[in-house]
């Protein structure tokens, strides 16, 4: 069937086909655990630790979107949160289960299909790998699953680390160039229906720190009215 677009979901799926990084690519990415990838460490994000220690987020139900090997999900569970964590890569989920499967409900699948009510939705490094059209699905997830008064927390590429190409150019190239870079006004515009609590660069931390921190990432905390 050559003319299969009838719905908005059909169009989103069609546009997905322009970009190459699908589940099998991520499975290959996570297969070599010895690769020098900064976020393969078993440490939580420094901003997340800060939110918990300052009481900006308090124990409740959490959805970790694009959880990878589970470092942030496991930290939150140890801090008394009830955590569901999802990733498109079965290889990443298997690694996460090895690290802390008795603490977190890990699930292999598409985060956009998540259901339930959450006090915190956390994303460390998933959002900047989404094509622009999938921001629509992402905002729908937040609207559907984040409870009133709940928090959404994000870490994503700055424009220096990710591509600064405009959205339209990404489609012309059919390539996200390793990830989309954002600036603060981009994030404030995309998440304008949420109240900003804090938006800053992630703090660079030394290798022996108990937390993960790289200054090429933005960290943001928003609250749903």
The pLDDT tens digits of the residues spanning 199-223 come to 999 999 999 999 999 999 999 999 9
What is the percentage of the chain residues whose pLDDT exceeds 70? 100
The pLDDT tens digits of the residues spanning 1-37 come to 688 899 999 999 999 999 877 889 999 999 999 989 9
Report d(CA 48, CA 210) in Å as an integer.
Answer: 12
> pLDDT value at position 1?
64
> pLDDT value at position 72?
98
Q: What is the pTM of this model?
A: 0.96
Report d(CA 115, CA 107) in Å as an integer.
Answer: 12
The pLDDT tens digits of the residues spanning 67-102 come to 999 999 999 999 999 999 999 999 999 999 999 999
pLDDT of residue 162 exceeding 80, the answer is yes
The average confidence (pLDDT) of the chain is: 96
**Ramachandran bin of 210, using left for φ above 0, alpha for ψ from -120 to 50, beta for the remaining angles:** alpha
Instruction: Give the residues across from 84 on adjacent strands.
Output: 63, 105
Domains, the chain, in order of start with CATH, read: 8-31+41-223 (3.40.50.150)
Spell out the residues 6+ positions from residue 37 whose beta carbon is closer than 8 angstroms to its own.
Answer: none
């Amino acid at each position: 069937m050559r003319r299969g677009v009838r719905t908005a979901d059909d169009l989103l799926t069609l546009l997905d086909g322009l970009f190459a990084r699908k589940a099998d690519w991520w499975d290959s990415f996570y297969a070599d655990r010895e690769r020098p990838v900064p976020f393969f460490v078993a440490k939580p994000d420094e901003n997340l630790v800060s939110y918990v220690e300052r009481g900006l987020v308090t124990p409740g139900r959490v959805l970790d979107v694009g959880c990878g090997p589970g470092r942030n999900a496991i930290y939150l569970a140890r801090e008394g949160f009830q955590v569901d964590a999802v990733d498109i890569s079965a290889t990443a989920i298997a690694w996460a289960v090895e690290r802390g499967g008795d603490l977190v409900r890990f699930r292999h699948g598409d985060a956009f299909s998540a259901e339930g009510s959450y006090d915190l939705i956390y994303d460390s490094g998933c959002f900047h790998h989404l094509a622009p059209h999938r921001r629509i699905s992402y905002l729908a997830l937040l609207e559907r699953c984040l409870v009133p008064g709940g928090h959404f927390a994000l870490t994503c590429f700055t424009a220096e680390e990710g591509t600064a190409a405009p959205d339209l150019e990404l489609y012309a190239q059919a390539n996200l160039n390793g990830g989309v870079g954002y600036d603060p006004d981009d994030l404030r515009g995309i998440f304008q229906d949420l109240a900003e609590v804090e938006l800053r660069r992630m703090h660079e931390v030394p290798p022996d720190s108990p937390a993960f921190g790289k200054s090429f990432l933005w960290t943001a905390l928003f609250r749903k009215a």
